[in-house]
Amino acid sequence: MTAPLLRVEDLRLALAGDRASHDAVEGVSFEIGRGEAFGLVGESGCGKSITALAVMGLLRAPLSLAGGRIVLDGQEIQDASAAEMRRLRGKRIGMIFQEPMTALNPLSPVGRQIAEMFVLHEGASWNEAMDRAEEALRQVHVPSPERRIRDFPHQLSGGMRQRVMIAMALACGPDLLIADEPTTALDVTVQAEIIDLMAELCSAKGTAILMISHDLGLVANMCRNVAVMYAGRIVERQPADAIFAHPRHPYTQGLVDSLPRLGERAKRGRQKLREIAGVVPSIAAYPSGCRFNPRCPAATDICRQVAPDLTALPAGGLVRCHHHG
Amino acid sequence: MLSILVRRIANIIPTLLAVIALVFLLFSVLPGSFISGMNEDGRSTIDPAVMERMRKEMGLDDPLPERFAKYVARTAVGDLGTSFRTREPVTSMIGARVWPSLKLVFAAMAFAICVGVTLGFVAALKPGSLVDTLSMVGAISGLSLSQFWFGLMLMYLFALQLKLLPSFGYGDGGLRHLILPAVALGVGPMALLARTTRAAVVEVLNADFVRTARSKGMSERLVVKWHVLRNALVLVVTIVGLQFGSLMGQAVVVEKLFAWPGVGSLLVDSVFQRDMPSVQGCILMIVLFFLVINTLVDLAYVVIDPRIRYR
C-alpha cells in the first residue's frame, strides 16, 4: 500500500480554561489515501471541526495543539512555521465551511474572492485571475458565470454561495478538500446537488475529501471509510457499508437508529424516530471510564471505571467499547 | 443616487420645522425677554414707554402662533430676521461665523479620525499589547474628560508654559490658532472612535469570512487589507457620522473657551441676551449641519456596503 496523503496520529488538542487546561480531543488517529473520501461523524461538540482546523493549522486560542503528528504527503506539518502553513493552505488543502453566507466576505464580489486564490498561490495578475475565477464558477455549474463574478454574496442563493466556496477551495487544485458540514445550512433539495458536485469534481481531479458531518447517512453515501467521534475520541472506525450494516459501538448504533428510513415506519407502526438519550458532556466534565457510559444502554461497572482502548475488529475496523463482541 | 439625495434633502425640512417650533416653545416658557434683560444690569433704567414700543417693534407682543408662522415664512425665503442686539440681519451675522465653525469642526474631526481610528486598529490587531492597553486607557480618559478642563490644560501647557501656540482667538485664521481648540474639541470623538474601531476590528477578525480568508493561505497583512478594513469601516462610518454631526453643537463650549468666532460662541452670547432671532438662527445652523452630515453618511453607506440600497 502506498503512503497515505494525510496521516493524523494520536492528535491531542488542548482547551485552555480559566484554571485548568482540558483535552478537547485526544488520541485521534486516521489516514486518508490519495483521492479517498473519508468521513468524520459525531454530534456537535465532539471535536470533529477542531480536528479539521488543526490539520489546517488554524487553531486559535484558547485551543492549541498539545500533541500528536499530522503528516501530509510524507511531510510532518504539525510544527510547520506560519509561512509554511500559508503555502499549504489553499494550495494543498482547501476548506469549505458550514455557513456559506458568513463564510464569504459580504463586501467583496464573489469573483474577486475566488480570484484571490490565483493571485495568492500562482502569482496571477488580477485580470488573469478574474478570468480564471469565471472559469472556476463555470466548473461548479453556476449559471452565467460572466455576470455572477461581479455579484456580491447576498445576491446569491445559499446553494450558489456554497458552489462559490467549492470553486474557491478547489481553485488551486488541492490534494485534500476538508468539508466541514458543507450542507448543514442548505435546503434538503440543494444538499444532494452540492454533495454530488463535490464528489464529481474531486473524483475528476483526484482530490481526497475529509468530510465532516453529524449526518451519518450523508457521510456513509459519499465516503469509503468513516470514523465516529464522541467526546473528543474516535469510538469506531469502519468502512462505510459496514458501519451501517453492523455498527459495533453503542453510540454508532444510536446514530444509525436515529436515521429516518423509508418504509420502516409502516413496518414498525407509527413509531417515532429513536434518539440517543442525554447530551454530549462538556469538555471540563468528561465522565471517567468510557465517556459514553452515562448515555449507554449497555453500560456496566467496567464501563464506568476503565476507559476502553480502540481494539481491532476481526473483519477490519476499530472500536472503542468493552462490550463490542 | 440622485433621487436618494433629493428625497433625503426633502426629509430634512420637517425636522427643521420641528426644531424651530421647539425653540419657539422653549423661549416662550422661559421667564424674561430681550427687553426685560436690558434692565437687569441694574446700571441703566429704561423708560417703560420705550420698552413697550420696542416690544411692539420686535413683534414680541404678537401671539406665539403668529410669530411662529411669520418666522417660518421668512426663513423659507432665507431671511432669518434681524438681531435684537446688533440690529444686523442674522443671516449675515451667522454667515461671518460659519466658516470659522466649519474649520474648527472639520479640523477636530480630522484629528479624531486620524488618531482614533489608527489607535483602534493598532489596539485590535495586537490585543493585550502595551499599545492596546495604553490606547484604551487613553480612550476612556478622553471620553470622561471635560472639554472645558482639557481645553484649559492645553492652553496652560502649550501656550503658557511651552509658548508654542497662541492661547486663544482666531488670529489670521491660520493653522496655529486652530490646533488647540481643534484638539480640545476632537478628543472626545477621538476616544469614542478608538474604542469603536477596536471593537469593530475585533468583531470582524472573528468573523467566519476571515477564517475563510486564512484558510485560503493569506498572510495576516492581506487578510486585514482585503477583508477586514472595509468591513470594519462600515461600523466606523456610523460613529464618525454621529460624532461629526453633533460636533458643531458640542463646539459651543470650546468656541467660548478659546474665544473662537464661530456659531457656537454667537449662540452663547445670544442666549444670554435673549436675542431670539440670533438664537433661532444659530440653532437652525447647528441642526442643519447635523442633518447634512447624516445625509452624507447615508450616502457613504451606499458606496461602501453593496447590501444597502435605499428605496
Q: Give pLDDT tens digits for B198-254.
A: 999 999 999 999 999 999 999 999 999 999 998 998 888 888 888 888 888 888 889
Q: Provide mean pLDDT across the span A112-126.
A: 94
The Cα B62–Cα B276 span in angstroms is 14
Select from B82, B93, B71 the least CA-distant residue to B17: B71
The Cα B12–Cα A213 span in angstroms is 53
**CB-based contact, B78 to chain A, within 8 Å:** no
Which residue of chain B is at minimal alpha-carbon distance from A156?
B307
**CB-based contact, A154 to chain B, within 8 Å:** yes
A98 and A179 in contact (C-beta within 8 Å)?
no
Cβ contacts of residue A1 below 8 Å, gap of 6+?
none
Which residue of chain A is at minimal alpha-carbon distance from B305?
A107
Q: Which helix (H) or strand (E) holds B65?
A: helix B64-76
Query: For cell 434518539, what's the residue?
Result: A275
Structural Rg of chain B based on CA atoms? 24
Q: Do A154 and B231 touch (CB under 8 A)?
A: no
Domain assignments of chain B as residue spans, ordered by start: 2-90, 97-304
Average pLDDT, whole number, for chain A?
A: 88
pLDDT above 60 (res A270): no
Cβ contacts of residue B110 below 8 Å, gap of 6+?
B182, B186
Orientation of helix B276-304 relative to helix B229-257, angle to 10°: 170
Residues in chain A: 325
State what percent of residues in chain B have pLDDT above 90.
23
Q: Give pLDDT tens digits for A197-214.
A: 999 999 999 999 999 998
Coil vs helix vs strand at B309:
coil
User: Could you give the C-alpha distances from B223 to A277, B89, B230, B266, in angstroms and in order?
Assistant: 43, 56, 11, 49
pLDDT above 80 (res B74): yes
**CB-based contact, A156 to chain B, within 8 Å:** no
The model's confidence at residue B43, banded by pLDDT at 50, 70 and 90, is: low
pLDDT above 80 (res A267): no
pLDDT above 60 (res A269): no
pLDDT above 70 (res A11): yes
B200 and B228 in contact (C-beta within 8 Å)?
no
What pLDDT does A134 receive?
A: 95
Q: Do A106 and B231 touch (CB under 8 A)?
A: yes
The model's confidence at residue A56, banded by pLDDT at 50, 70 and 90, is: very high
Instruction: Mark B32-57 as b/e (b = at least 16 C-beta within 10 Å).
Output: ebbbeebeeeeeeeeeeeeeeebbee
Mutate to test the interface with B, among A107, A114, A150, A181 (most CBs of B within 10 A): A107
The Cα A191–Cα A187 span in angstroms is 6
What pLDDT does B150 receive?
A: 87
Cβ contacts of residue B233 below 8 Å, gap of 6+?
B304
| B3's grid cell | 433621487
The model's confidence at residue A265, banded by pLDDT at 50, 70 and 90, is: low
Residues in B touching A116 (Cβ below 8 Å): 213, 216, 218, 226
**CB-based contact, A57 to chain B, within 8 Å:** no
The model's confidence at residue A215, banded by pLDDT at 50, 70 and 90, is: confident
> Smallest Cβ distance to A58: which of B211, B219, B231?
B211
**CB-based contact, B300 to chain A, within 8 Å:** no
Coil vs helix vs strand at B177:
helix
What pLDDT does B68 receive?
A: 83
CB atoms within 10 A of CB A46: 25
pLDDT above 80 (res A16): yes
Q: What is the dihedral of CA B106, B108, B113, B114, to 10 degrees?
A: 100
**CB-based contact, A174 to chain B, within 8 Å:** no
CA distance B210 to chain A (A): 8
What is this structure's pTM?
A: 0.81
**Angle at A31 (CA atoms; ends A29, A34), nearest 5 degrees:** 165
Q: Say how far residue B295 (Cα) sits from the centre of its chain.
A: 15
pLDDT above 90 (res B111): yes
B128 and B204 in contact (C-beta within 8 Å)?
no
Cβ contacts of residue B112 below 8 Å, gap of 6+?
B186, B187, B188, B189, B190, B193, B243
Q: Is the peptide bond before A62 cis (omega within 30 degrees of 0)?
A: yes
Residues in B touching A95 (Cβ below 8 Å): 212, 215
SS (H, E, C) B120-170: HHHHHHCCCCHHHHHHHHHHHHHHHCCHHHHHHHHHHHHHHHCCCCCCCCC
Q: Provide mean pLDDT across the span A218-231.
A: 90
Select from A169, A12, A172 the least CA-distant residue to A78: A12
pLDDT above 80 (res A121): yes
Q: Do A107 and B231 touch (CB under 8 A)?
A: yes
Q: Do A103 and B212 touch (CB under 8 A)?
A: yes
Q: Which helix (H) or strand (E) holds A110?
A: helix A110-122
CA distance A119 to chain B (A): 10
**CB-based contact, A120 to chain B, within 8 Å:** yes
| B53's grid cell | 414700543
State what percent of residues in chain B have pLDDT above 70.
94
CA distance A107 to chain B (A): 6
What domains lie within chain A, and their CATH numbers?
6-107+152-319 (3.40.50.300)
The model's confidence at residue B41, banded by pLDDT at 50, 70 and 90, is: low
Q: Do A106 and B208 touch (CB under 8 A)?
A: no
> Smallest Cβ distance to B209: which of A86, A94, A104?
A104
Q: Provide mean pLDDT across the span A21-42.
A: 91
Q: Judging by DSSP bridges, how do beta strands A37-41 and A225-230 pair with one another?
A: parallel
Cβ contacts of residue B172 below 8 Å, gap of 6+?
none
- What are residue A114's phi and psi, to 5 degrees? -75, -40
Residues in chain B: 311
B160 and B167 in contact (C-beta within 8 Å)?
yes
State what percent of residues in chain A have pLDDT above 90.
48
What pLDDT does B225 receive?
A: 92
Give Dmax over CA atoms of chain A in angstroms: 67
Q: Judging by DSSP bridges, how do beta strands A37-41 and A21-32 pair with one another?
A: unpaired
Select from B11, B2, B16, B8 the least CA-distant residue to B298: B8
**CB-based contact, B74 to chain A, within 8 Å:** no
Q: Do A106 and B209 touch (CB under 8 A)?
A: yes
The Cα A289–Cα B160 span in angstroms is 76
The Cα A176–Cα A272 span in angstroms is 39
Q: Give pLDDT tens digits for B151-169.
A: 888 888 888 888 888 877 8
> Smallest Cβ distance to B214: which of A58, A104, A168?
A58
pLDDT above 80 (res B311): no
The model's confidence at residue B32, banded by pLDDT at 50, 70 and 90, is: low
The model's confidence at residue A262, banded by pLDDT at 50, 70 and 90, is: low
Superfamily the domain B97-304 falls into: MetI-like (1.10.3720.10)
pLDDT above 60 (res A268): no
Residues in A touching B217 (Cβ below 8 Å): 85-91, 120-121
